Amino acid sequence: MGLHESVSSLRWQGSYGVFRVAVGLMLLGLSMAQSVSPQAACPASAAPQSVPQPQYQDTEKDVMGFLEGFVHSFLQTVQPNALPKDLILNTLQDADRMQQLRPERLREFLVYDVGFLVCTAIGVLYIVLMPIVGFFLACCRCCGNCGGKMYQKQTSSTNCHRRSLYWTAFGTTSIILAGNVCMFISNKDITVSVDQSQVELNKTINNIQFFLTSVPQQIDKVVNESYRTVEEVSRNLDAIGPQLGKEIQEKFRGTLDPALQWVRLLDQETVNTSLQLSKLKSSVTQLQSSMNHLQDNFTAVKNRILQTLSMAECFGCTSKKPELEKLTLDTDLNIPSLSEFQSAMDEVNKTNLPSKIKEMEDYFGSIPQRVTDETKGIVQSSKKLLGDIKTQISQVTDDIPLSSLTNVLDFLGQLQSEMVKYTPEIERAEEIRSGVCLALCCLVLLVVVCYLLGLVLGPIGLSPKDDPTERSCTTDCGGTFLMMGAGFSFLFSWLFMIVVTLLFLLGGNAYTLICRPWNNGQLLELLATPGIIPGYDLGQSLGLKTNITIPDIYRDCKQNQPLWTTLHLYELINLDEVLNVSKYTEQIQQEFEKTVITLPSVTLLSPELKEQLSNFSSKASNLDSSVFTEKMKNVSNINLNTTADNLDLLAAAQPKNVIKKELINEARDLRQIQAEIETIIIPQLENLNSTIKSFGSVADKINGTVGEVLSNVGIAQDFLNTNTTQIVRTESRKFLGCQLGYFIVYADWANLTITQQVGRCGPVAGAVDSVDNILCSHVAESLNAFWFSLGWCMIFFIPGIIFSMKLAKYYRRMKHSDAFDDHLIMNPIPRAHTKFT
């Protein structure tokens, strides 16, 4: 049967120890390789969050004014010199010494500003001469001179002169009109600039406030991240049992799990085998009962037949008696191997494999609690050192001078309050300025309108052939408007020139001394000069070894550099020392090295149990089912019908009816026994054979399962005996390395954040640029455009006066007539000659 074939599966059982040792060495190598793996196997902690960067308001960028190119070109011509750095420094030094301005300093200033002085002199001459010239011209005209006499001589070139003067006056008026339009635009720009300047200044101050407020918040964020790291490591230490115990369990799982699985499988197969064995024994008992009953019947019938054949009256029966005596039935079903297997099964059941499985599982599950119990002391001392780490890192807020930021915030708050306080006055002043400038624009526009009306009305009613004394009222009004324009020009131009000169001196010097040096960097270089700002030394106030200049700060802030590099804070704070927690981590590591986590030794399977399992496997392999086969074969070969037929033949030969009848009845009984064999015994034998096959297939697996159990349990036992201490030590170091690695990650993040992200001072440079934009691009440029436009009009007032007054005589109605005809030929009248004697 199939049970005999399972014997070959145990041939390797004697040498499985060599295989077990080889597998154990391989698992040991793998575990050691994992124990030295990098800390990439550490559970990922929450990544430090980036420090919050404030959202700043957008400020207006530099906008090129519509007259900026002309104004800058003119001022460059007026003042081509660079910023007088030495002159300013010497003057400031004299002021510090309470000395009066020396004549040579004044001379240097005058030489430097010679262009402005020349332009101012021209303006003064204009202011002085224009009303004087106008006064004398008015007096002369009243006396009939300078075109005051209402007489116009007519010549052949009169029309040509008129047209030339007309287009010249028209061009001059157009230029004045263009300048007047620029005046209106620049006046509007000044108003818009003043309004926008308040808004932009508020945005700038708000941005600086956001920046100054964000710096302490960012520092607090860095410190709070250290608290979070400390708390996370503290939580991990509190959960050292589940975390470290789980890692140790994972290292054991590779060898313990297969052993447990095979033991569980053996327990399950043992239960199945017990059930099949019980079923087999029940079938054997039932068959044995049937065969015992059959044996009793057969014995009784056989004895009766022998008695009948032994009778003297039985004819020819003596010869049949030996053959009948040989007829037997083997009904013994006793199988020794089955009993031995039953005994081995009982021994295995007594070992209680489920309790062994429970014992292995309890040992595996008790590892976390064991780790927790043996690390209580080190956890408490380590948490105390974590508190010291938190205290050390919090010193960052004490070392960084954040109090100065508070002072600046207070100053900015006061500045905004003052701005709100003086805003109504600024608005009223701006309304007055706008009204005055608008009046100036309108007065210039009045001159332009007079000129335009004269240029329009004059030609409309003019007929070239008309006598000058007969010109139309329309033409005469045109000439009058031209004279009015000239008169208004004389009347207002010198006043306008006063405005131009004052605004020129103010706006021009603001551009050449502030805006232009600021744009080309000369002003920053001047501010960087030591002593230029009394009492200002940022490096000394911060306690730095090196001096920090304003251009350096502006340059760094323009690149949005952090305060760490901008203010040279690395000279104040040794960040590596503050963030260096190695002295605490080394103490924690030493404490962990002193702590030895020991796991109790465990015997997975005792030698007695191993012997019982081996005996159980051996008995299962020695179970012989050939007895059942032989029994079935013997029973199947029994044929009592032949004997019954012989008895019938013998009965037919008997002379006596009594013996004949006995033999016939006995033959019938044999046939009935044969029928019982065929209908009862043989089906039961077949059922028993099926049960034996099922039992054999179950018992067949026991041999291989027991071998796997012994092999895997042996490997696991060797692994535990050899590697438990090393695994616990390795995993403890890795757990500690992970916790200390969190501080390394934090220290790198904090160092990078403080040195590269905290206090990016781009808003500071933006604020400086915004102030420059407000003062120069908005106010100064608009102001310069206004005086430039007004001066432009004043310059062209002079040719406008000349051309309009000359052109007016061609349109005004004359009082004295002068005729000229191109077609009239004039012949000289001969004069009489008187002869004297």
| pLDDT for residue 594 | 67
Assign 137 to helix, strand or coil.
Answer: helix
CB atoms within 10 A of CB 186: 27
Single-letter residue type at 37: S
The CA distance from 627 to 288, in Å, is 14
Assign 686 to helix, strand or coil.
Answer: helix
Output b/e per residue, 689-706; b: 16+ Cβ within 10 A.
bebbeebbebbbbbbebb
| pLDDT for residue 223 | 78
Q: Are 760 and 553 in contact (CB under 8 A)?
A: no
Task: Give the DSSP letter of residue 816.
Answer: B
Assign 462 to helix, strand or coil.
Answer: coil
| pLDDT for residue 503 | 92
Can you spell out the DSSP letters for 348-362?
Answer: HHHH-HHHHHHHHHH
The CA distance from 758 to 755, in Å, is 7
Single-letter residue type at 210: F
Which helix (H) or strand (E) segment is 281 a member of? helix 240-310
By C-alpha distance, which of 557, 453, 481 is closest to 766? Answer: 557
CB atoms within 10 A of CB 212: 21
Single-letter residue type at 245: G
Model confidence, pTM: 0.63
| pLDDT for residue 625 | 61
C-alpha distances (whole Å) from 191 to each of 59, 71, 195, 435, 479 are 18, 19, 6, 10, 38
The CA distance from 629 to 625, in Å, is 7
Compute CA 64 distance to the chain's CA centroid, rounded to the nearest angstrom.
39
**Which tokens hold the place of 720?**
């535990």
The CA distance from 341 to 617, in Å, is 9
By C-alpha distance, which of 695, 740, 798 is closest to 272? Answer: 695
The CA distance from 713 to 263, in Å, is 8
Q: Are 623 and 341 in contact (CB under 8 A)?
A: yes
Single-letter residue type at 384: K
Q: What sign results for the dihedral spanned by CA atoms 802, 807, 813, 815?
A: positive
By C-alpha distance, which of 714, 702, 609 is closest to 267? Answer: 702
Output b/e per residue, 715-754; b: 16+ Cβ within 10 A.
bbbbbbeebbeebbebbbebbbbbbbbbbebbbebbbebb
The CA distance from 711 to 703, in Å, is 12
Output b/e per residue, 790-813; b: 16+ Cβ within 10 A.
bbbbbbbbebbbebbbbbbbbbbb
Kindly list the averaged pLDDT for each block of 10 residues, start to end, along the chain of length 837.
35 36 34 36 61 72 68 88 75 59 73 87 91 83 66 66 87 92 89 82 82 80 78 78 75 76 76 74 77 80 80 76 73 63 69 73 75 74 76 69 65 75 84 91 93 87 68 81 89 91 91 85 74 58 68 83 80 74 74 68 70 69 63 72 80 80 83 82 77 70 74 76 76 77 78 81 82 82 89 91 84 63 44 42
